[in-house]
Structure 1
Amino acid sequence: GFSKSDIALYSKGIGWVTTVVFTLLGGLFAIRIGLVRAMFLSGILMAVTNLMFSWLAWAGPVESLFAAAVLLDDLAAAFATVTFVAFISMLVDRTYTATQYALLASIGTAGRTLFASSSGALVDWLDGDWGIFFVITALMVVPSLICLWVLRHRLTAMLVGAQVRLFSKGAEQDS
């Protein structure tokens, strides 16, 4: 495996810088391509990152592959967070922003919390094969991407309506 200093260097040392940079770039990119496309792309990036960790699990301790996997993971996580926050921010009503945002954010992270707590048991069941584990987690993205693809036109229309509601002159008079 990797030494603690290797893990610290790539995950923490370089990771926080790349997360900040990728968050800023991700926000600009999400605005440019639109939130629905950005959510779709972030889901694909998250799956690719997990496949890189599978590759790493099977290849052994290859420092350059580890660095690339961590870098891509930071990119994917920052981009997914930016698009998710922007998406739920567009869905909430200005009157109840804090409550609705908190509820949607909690629902959005519930799956990650539930699945993370059982991941060790799954890896044990897979006889310690982290490569297969990460392939399974990459495949878990597919239902979400299918759902997003099916709902893309409806979501785009909702987001356009939310933008009009948030940024129109009529919205200022409602306050």
Structure 2
Amino acid sequence: MSYKGWRGIRRAFGTPSALTMLVLGFGSGLPFLLLASMTLSTRLRDVGLDLGSIGLISLASFFYLLKFLWAPLLDRHAFPLLAFLGRRRSWLLFSQLLVAVSLGALALMRPELGVAGLVTWVLVGSFAGATQDSVVDAYRIEVAPAEAQAALAATYTLGYRFGLILGGAGALYLAEFQGWPRAYLAMSALMLLPVAATLLCREPVAPESSVVRRIDFVGAFWQPFASYFANNGVALGLVLLVFVGCFKFPDQVIGVMAGPFYLDSGYTKADIATVAKLYGIWAGIAGAFAGGMAVAAFGIRRMLLVAAIGVALSNLAFLLMAEYPSQIWAFYAAITADNLFQGFAGVVLIAFMSSLTDRNFTATQFALLVSLANLPGKFAGGVSGFLVEATSYSVFFVLSALTVVPTLLLLAWLWRRIKEPGAPPLPAGS
């Protein structure tokens, strides 16, 4: 079945799985800020904890970075008590219910009186949230053909952003007027939406070979790696991994410096909230849907090129803010360019990484690819402040844009070796 052109866009976005991914994406996005980021740290500061303690408590959410470690178990087994739902839906329901319980328990915590209980439930909740993310990714890849993956990634991103809005701005508004316990209880109740979607959606059809069922416990951990290199070869496999690691580097390397740059450019916290956190989310959603439609219409290879160049050029848009500090139009222009291409590139990369996974080891291989796509930029972002202090923000943004060069060189080498989803296999040795 062809998924190219306008007909391809309608087929890709018209699948019932697209609506399912919207709700499952909401379930993945909702707990993230409540457990691992801004909302939790705001609550802790609001009740009087010092910044050092807040920073240490944030480490309790490290499970989000390590989800690939237990992903082989998600590929190999159904969750025992819910096995009748199937391998993917059983883990989905378990993780979603555990997230809801964790958020409800956090509502009852009094961090100003002691943080032991809070840290425990953040650990439990982040494990459950990371597990949910891994299973949702695996479910998306397995429930629809490769040609529809960009569309499902777009609807997933839309749901995820809605979850971020409610877990961020929504929880903060509730906390302001009703208090933190009621805010967290409301967020816990909202997890019933993805729970309902899990109960109503269909279980993906397991691969006919069911390789993962026949391997032993140790093999469940090394076989995903062996399968990846068996399918791609060692040389191509390594280049693909390096390419994935480099793809969003220009965007990720400026992430840590974005907030300080906004303040240093003369914008108020209210400006940042309005432009970056509200308007920017909608710009990101628009970019995600543009990416999904572009891949459905034109294929993934050309969109990888467009996305890579777009992410790099969007960094240069921040030069407007450096040149015209405190000008709100410059802020809107930079955030529009940055978030549009962030959303566009994110969907294109998800679709590309999905095409690289073996459906026998979907959760494991995709979790590894996601970690690889995020880690290089995160490490570089950690030292980006030193570069800004040694030069200037303007020089930093120019240098960050130039980091796209290795990505483009790798893409040039990969160009004829990248197989479009749904296309016949490449000849051996190509």
- Alignment TM-score, normalising by the size of structure 2: 0.36
Describe the superposition over 1:117-174 as per-residue Cα deviations: whole angstroms up to 9, x where unpaired.
1111111121xx100000000000111012112211111x3x34xx358xxxxxxxxx
CA distance in 2, matches of 1:20, 1:144: 24
CA distance in structure 1 between the partners assigned to 2:328 and 2:345 by the alignment: 25
Equivalent residue in structure 1 for 2:304, among 20, 24, 39:
39
Amino acid at match of 1:144: T
Mapped to 2, the partners of 1:39 and 1:48 lie a distance apart of 14
**1:49 partnered with 2:279:** no
Paired residues of 2:305 and 2:411 also in contact (CA < 8 A): yes
Measured in 2, the distance between the counterparts of 1:152 and 1:164 equals 15
Return 5+ residue gaps in structure 2 as ranges: 1-265, 425-430
The 8 Å contact of residues 308 and 408 in structure 2, kept in 1 or not, is answered as yes
Greater CA radius of gyration, 1 or 2? 2
- Aligned residue among 393, 403, 420 for 1:140: 403
Equivalents in 2 of 1:101, 1:48: separation in Å? 28
Q: Is the 8 A contact 1:55 1:131 kept in 2?
A: no
**Partner Cα distance (1:123, 1:17) in 2:** 29
Counterpart residue identity of residue 13, structure 1: L
Identity in percent:
35
In structure 2, the partner of 1:6 is: 271
CA RMSD of aligned residues (A): 1.5
Q: Which has the higher helix share?
A: 1
Q: Is the 8 A contact 2:387 2:396 kept in 1?
A: yes
| Distance in 2 (alpha carbons) for counterparts of 1:77 and 1:37 | 17
Whole-Å Cα distance in 1 between the matches of residues 322 and 407 of structure 2? 25
1:76 equivalent in alignment to 2:328: no
Corresponding letter in the other structure for 2:348: T
2:412 is the counterpart of 1:149: yes
Residues 24-173 of structure 1 aligned to structure 2 (within 5 Å): 24-126=289-391, 129-155=392-418, 157=419, 159-160=420-421, 163=422
Displacement of 1:10 in angstroms is: 0.8
Q: For 1:85-142, what per-residue CA distance to the aligned partner results, in whole angstroms no more than 9, with x for missing partners?
A: 000101100110000000111111111111111111111121xx10000000000011
Q: CA deviation at 1:54?
A: 2.3
Larger deviation, residues 86-95 vs 22-31: 22-31
Aligned 8 A contact 2:320 2:334 in 1: no
What SS is found at the alignment partner of 1:14?
A: helix
State TM-score, norm by structure 1. 0.85
Aligned partners of 2:374, 2:354: CA distance in 1, in Å? Answer: 15
Shift of 1:34: 1.5
Higher RCO (C-alpha 8 Å, min separation 6): 1
Give 3-state SS (helix, strand or coil) of 2:367's partner: helix
